[in-house]
Amino acid sequence: MKREFVVGVTGASGVIYAHRLLEVLCERARVHIIISDTARQIAGIEGVDLMGFDAIYADNSNLAADIASGSFCCDGMAIVPCSMKTLAAVSNGFADNLITRAADVCLKERRPLLLLLREMPLSRVHLKNMLAADEAGATVMVASPPFYQQPKTIDDLVDMVVARVLDHMGVRHDLGTRWSGYDA
């Protein structure tokens, strides 16, 4: 039986991370995709097409969708990228759209929820919301690629971040290079 995940895409720069995650995840699992209106706008600005994946697309305004219910079983959710607005909503239980409701369901059902933030600098409010999300059970990640693999392209950098997301989702992959230590 295929694993099943929900992917939310919100209005932060870095839609390329969502695209790469969907490329890999849709080959290995059943995927439900929710794209916010602002994410659609940002995707257009960044030249990233999020349509056409072998996945189930859900409208962000549809709070009656199956993935809005705790009775819907899935293996977890990732919000990639996760805007600071969405972080604030998730960390405070404000579920006013399908992305934040599906995230709220993951938290209450104790399912994995990954929030990939792409913002800097971080304000005190952002940091407090990150801590609150962590305390609620989410995994807070920052799109900060390592450089030990000596990246040559933007795709190399994207793969290293997406590899960490997939690791935390428990999805096997062959993206990037793993750290193997060094001789000191």
Contact between 130 and 87 under an 8 Å Cβ cutoff? The reply is yes
CB proximity list for 99: less than 8 A, separation 6 or greater: 8, 10, 34, 36, 60, 79, 86
Q: What is the spatial distance between Cα 85 and Cα 88, in angstroms, rounded to a whole number? A: 5
Indicate yes or no: pTM above 0.85. Answer: yes
Contact between 109 and 136 under an 8 Å Cβ cutoff? The reply is no
pLDDT of 56 reads: 97
pLDDT of 180 reads: 77
pLDDT beyond 90 at 99: yes
Query: Which stretches of 66-118 are assigned E, i.e. beta strand?
Result: 77-82, 113-117
Q: What sign has the CA pseudo-torsion 98, 100, 103, 105?
A: negative
pLDDT of 181 reads: 78
Q: 121: cis peptide before it, omega within 30°?
A: yes
Contact between 78 and 103 under an 8 Å Cβ cutoff? The reply is no
Contact between 22 and 57 under an 8 Å Cβ cutoff? The reply is no
pLDDT of 182 reads: 76
Taking only the tens place, the pLDDT of each residue in 16-67 is 999 999 999 999 999 999 999 999 999 999 999 999 999 999 999 999 999 9
Taking only the tens place, the pLDDT of each residue in 103-161 is 999 999 999 999 999 999 999 999 999 999 999 999 999 999 988 888 999 999 999 99
pLDDT of 148 reads: 84
pLDDT of 142 reads: 95
pLDDT of 184 reads: 61
Cα 25–153–57 angle (5° rounding)? 25
Region 69-89: mean pLDDT is 97
pLDDT-based confidence at residue 11 (cuts at 50, 70, 90): very high
Q: What is the spatial distance between Cα 58 and Cα 65, in angstroms, rounded to a whole number? A: 7
Region 87-109: mean pLDDT is 97
